[in-house]
Amino acid sequence: RQRNPGQDEFVQAVHDVAQDIWGWIEDKPRYHEAEILRRIAEPDRIVSFRVCWEDDDHNIRVERGWRVQNNNAIGPYKGGLRFDESVNESVLKFLAFEQTFKNSLTGLPMGGGKGGSNFNPKGKSDAEIMRFCQSFMTELYRHIGPNTDVPAGDMGVGSREIGYLFGQYKRLTGRWEGALTGKALEYGGSQMRPEATGYGAVYFLRAALKEAGEKIDGKTAIVSGSGNVALHAARKLVDCGAKVVTLSDSDGFVHDPDGFDNDKLDWIYDLKLERRGRISEYADEYSRAEFHEGKAPWAVESDLALPCATQNELDEDDAKALLDNDVLAVCEGANMPSTTEAADAFREAGIIFAPAKAANAGGVAVSGLEMSQNAERVSWDSDTLDDKLVALMEDIHDKCVEHAGETGEDGAVDYARGANIAGFRKVADAMLAYGVI
Ligand code: NDP
């Protein structure tokens, strides 16, 4: 905390990992004598830059952009770009730190990074988004490349923004190369990339439930968020036979007691991802649904809970409400959605708690496969990629189980511990091989 004053999110992320790693490396002097954890918790570098752009009324606007390159021991830096007014250095450092472990868990050769801007894309015209993205890339391009650092999308950065960013990278460098992932299919994108994080989270959850002798079919699920991750998680849950009854945005949540079917999800997909509307509009369209302004959905009775919106959206009281309702599993689609206290409560209760760095690794895994396809100049079909995604998520699940140990009175698998240790181990071994650098 003294080293990183005011960086609460970053300190929280490091603390949560360190509490598992310290216990594990205690009797492994090669890791603690080499100060590996301390080295991973200090980013390789942080680039901070001015992003200047002109709005539609010809006002000059000045925002701040960053790229945090946390660790490239096992491959080029890799991690998304986030455009949101809540973005600051602490948030990006926490995300880049987490990304390092997550990318290691995928088994693919990718280091950890993250970037973005405090630019708020809400309410901006297409032309404003384009001018901002072009200005952002005008600085970023010199720090990235297919063998250096390969950014992707995150909150506020979807395929429209990736298009503008990639176009500007290509214009500035004169090269078509896979320096970004999350591209559209017409210019080197991968099938299944938009779906991968949400679908992957459900594949992980399915594997964890199976491990406990349970299944998704017939369960009630609550999901928060209504962006890329939330909507694809909801879709896959419905495919697997669950009844999904909530979705949310930063204004509040909608509760549909009948559950969302594929037609309703199509309607919300168009509302949120195409028309850029508000989730409250769902309750105007479907009369059985209710909108709860300013609230999160955690008190709604359910078997499965998937926080898929943002960091620290689920606190200790929310965890208590979920546990009081006998929730069976909490699966994190968003990055660090549970506060430390909430995560501890789930782990102590011995329910299935699937932590973000394992459960939401499907997105970056398919990004890794997009890099491979770009390098080989091939494109695989969606069935092939879906099969690869299932296999990757089941492999991550098994690695977590292998490193987990047990928690709670019933001896449940401690997935958070398993993910932290399995993710750390590969990066740490690579760093040891390089000596002190
Ligand atoms: P999107 O921008 O597509 O969607 C974010 C959603 O979260 C929106 O519905 C947004 O609502 C909602 N939201 C934002 N802040 C809050 C808040 N304070 N309270 C309630 N809802 C809120 O982002 P993604 O779906 O891509 O990302 C969601 C999470 O998943 C993030 O933590 C991201 O880092 C993580 N993630 C994403 C990956 C990906 O492949 N996209 C990969 C791995 C992790 P509103 O419309 O009001 O802004």
Rounded distance between C-alpha atoms, residue 20 and residue 404, angstroms = 10
| 42 lies in the same domain as 152 | yes
Q: Residue 408 has what pLDDT?
A: 65
Q: Residue 14 has what pLDDT?
A: 97
Q: Which residue's alpha carbon is at the smallest distance from atom 41 of ligand 1?
A: 154
Name which of 55, 79, 59 is nearest 68 in CA terms. 79
CB 183 within 8 A of CB 353: no
- The answer to whether residue 376 scores a pLDDT higher than 70 is yes
| 173 lies in the same domain as 203 | no
| 356 lies in the same domain as 215 | yes
Q: In what order do the strands lie in the sheet with 304-306?
A: 290-293, 252-255, 243-249, 220-223, 304-306, 329-331, 352-354
Asked whether residue 312 is assigned to any structural domain, the reply reads: yes
In this prediction, residues 203-226 reach a mean pLDDT of 98
Residues flanking ligand 1, CB < 6 Å: 153-156, 197, 225-230, 248-250, 308-310, 313, 333-335, 360, 363
ipTM above 0.85, yes or no: yes
Ligand 1 pocket, mutate which of 129, 197, 298 (most atoms under 8 A from CB)? 197
Backbone angles phi, psi at 100, to 5 degrees: -60, -45
| 44 lies in the same domain as 161 | yes
User: Both tokens of residue 33?
Assistant: 């004598």
- Tell me which residue range forms the domain holding 353: 194-361
**Number of domains making up the chain:** 2
| 329 lies in the same domain as 285 | yes
| 37 lies in the same domain as 175 | yes
Backbone angles phi, psi at 27, to 5 degrees: -100, 25
In this prediction, residues 320-340 reach a mean pLDDT of 97
Instruction: Quick: pLDDT tens for 118-164.
Output: 999 999 999 999 999 999 999 999 999 999 999 999 999 999 999 99
Asked whether residue 394 is assigned to any structural domain, the reply reads: no
Q: Which residue's alpha carbon is at the smallest distance from atom 4 of ligand 1?
A: 227
In this prediction, residues 291-318 reach a mean pLDDT of 98
Q: Residue 56 has what pLDDT?
A: 98
Mean per-residue pLDDT of the chain = 96
Q: What is the CATH number of the domain that holds 305?
A: 3.40.50.720
| 225 lies in the same domain as 120 | no
Q: What is the CATH number of the domain that holds 86?
A: 3.40.50.10860
Rounded distance between C-alpha atoms, residue 198 and residue 331, angstroms = 11
Rounded distance between C-alpha atoms, residue 356 and residue 345, angstroms = 16
Asked whether residue 2 is assigned to any structural domain, the reply reads: no
Token pair 């384009």: residue: 130
Instruction: Quick: pLDDT tens for 241-282.
Output: 999 999 999 999 999 999 999 999 999 999 998 898 999 999
Asked whether residue 250 is assigned to any structural domain, the reply reads: yes
Instruction: Tell which atom from ligand 1 comes closest to the C-alpha of 310.
Output: 32
In this prediction, residues 283-289 reach a mean pLDDT of 97
Domain final position from 338, 361, 384: 361
- The answer to whether residue 324 scores a pLDDT higher than 80 is yes
How far out from the chain centre does Cα 92 lie? Answer: 12
Q: pLDDT above 70 covers what percent of the chain?
A: 99
| 202 lies in the same domain as 138 | no
Asked whether residue 156 is assigned to any structural domain, the reply reads: yes
